[in-house]
Amino acid sequence: MLLIYLLCFFFFILDTYLLQGFFSDYNAIEPEYRPVEQATRLAYLLVAAIAWRDLQKNKQNTKANTLQTGRTLLFFSLVLVILENNWDLTLRESILGRIIFASTLGSVLVWLSWLAFNSDWPAPSGYPLLYILVLGILGLGQTVDAFHDGIVSNEAAQEIGTNITLEETTELFAAWVLFHAAWIWHNRDPEAINFWQNSDGLKLVGGLSLLGVGNGFLAFTREGTGGHFVSNQVAILGAIFIILGIYLTHKHIKIF
């Protein structure tokens, strides 16, 4: 797991400093197409995948907390994937949208934390704290986003939110901390990890990566009362990636 967090730092440095040095117009690229956002979506998709596999394997499990954890992780991660690059489509940029967004996702994470503390299996001591950490990191990200969007008029706060990309970085770490917690939960069954160590697991990760990239290409912007994709050509490319991702994913997860 240390490797995952080191990769998060690498993506941050790559996105914030290295690529900007090679490409003069790099900052003009939509964040959804850049490494930090793509890695964030992949983490949420991985959480959804392991939750779904766990639910399919434990359909007859009588332990209520185990099934509830799986369902909550699946719901939470899929919602975050959908919302990750469609803020305008979901009206999250409005004050009301922010309140709904924060209260919904915060409530889910509080519920996950409660389930972790009252787990049906002897979880590691730090496991429940990971869910609480996700809540704190996401809260920081939303605060920085408010600075970035000018809801807070302080110029220094706006500069912090804009120049050092704290918003995207906090979302990246929140996603992978959530994956860390979900991975610990998933591997309470020693046999579960065998799937991810063979070629089927690698193909599933590849399919999920295509899904994440494709979803990122479907960035939506709202102008007045209407809206449109950032680029129809890129949106079509994203749809192709999504179809390929679903094909690879369906072969290794019983979706239907």
Question: Is the separation of the CB atoms in 160 and 144 below 8 Å?
Answer: yes
What pLDDT, on the 0 to 100 scale, is given for residue 36? 83
Average confidence (pLDDT) over 28-35: 71
* pLDDT level of residue 85 (50, 70, 90 thresholds): low
Whose tokens are 């449109």? That residue is 228
Classify residue 225 by burial, with Cβ atoms within 10 Å: 0-12, 13-18, 19+.
Answer: exposed
Query: What b-and-e string marks burial along 180-213, b requiring 16 or more CB atoms within 10 Å of the CB?
Result: bbbbbbbebeeebeeebeeeeeeebbebbbbbbb
Question: Is the separation of the CB atoms in 50 and 183 below 8 Å?
Answer: yes
Lowest pLDDT segment from 46-50, 201-205, 242-246: 201-205
- The reply to whether 48 falls in a domain is yes
- The reply to whether 7 falls in a domain is yes
Q: Which residue has the higher pLDDT, 230 or 173?
A: 173
Lowest pLDDT segment from 59-73, 151-165, 191-205: 151-165
- The reply to whether 164 falls in a domain is yes
| Structural domains counted in the chain | 1
The structure's pTM equals 0.78
**DSSP letter for each residue of 104-117:** HHHHHHHHHHHHHH
E runs forming strands in the chain: 220-223, 226-229
What pLDDT, on the 0 to 100 scale, is given for residue 177? 92
Average confidence (pLDDT) over 239-252: 84
- The reply to whether 94 falls in a domain is yes
Range of the domain at 150: 2-250
- The reply to whether 255 falls in a domain is no
What pLDDT, on the 0 to 100 scale, is given for residue 57? 77
- The reply to whether 256 falls in a domain is no
Q: Which two tokens stand for residue 25?
A: 């117009």
Average confidence (pLDDT) over 230-240: 79
What pLDDT, on the 0 to 100 scale, is given for residue 61? 64
In whole numbers, what is the pLDDT of the chain averaged over residues?
A: 76
Tell me the Ramachandran region of residue 228: left when phi exceeds 0, alpha when psi lies from -120 to 50, beta otherwise: beta
- The reply to whether 101 falls in a domain is yes
How far is the C-alpha of 72 from the C-alpha of 13, rounded, in Å? 32
- pLDDT value at 211 more than 80: yes
How far is the C-alpha of 186 from the C-alpha of 67, rounded, in Å? 11
Q: Which residue has the higher pLDDT, 77 or 143?
A: 77
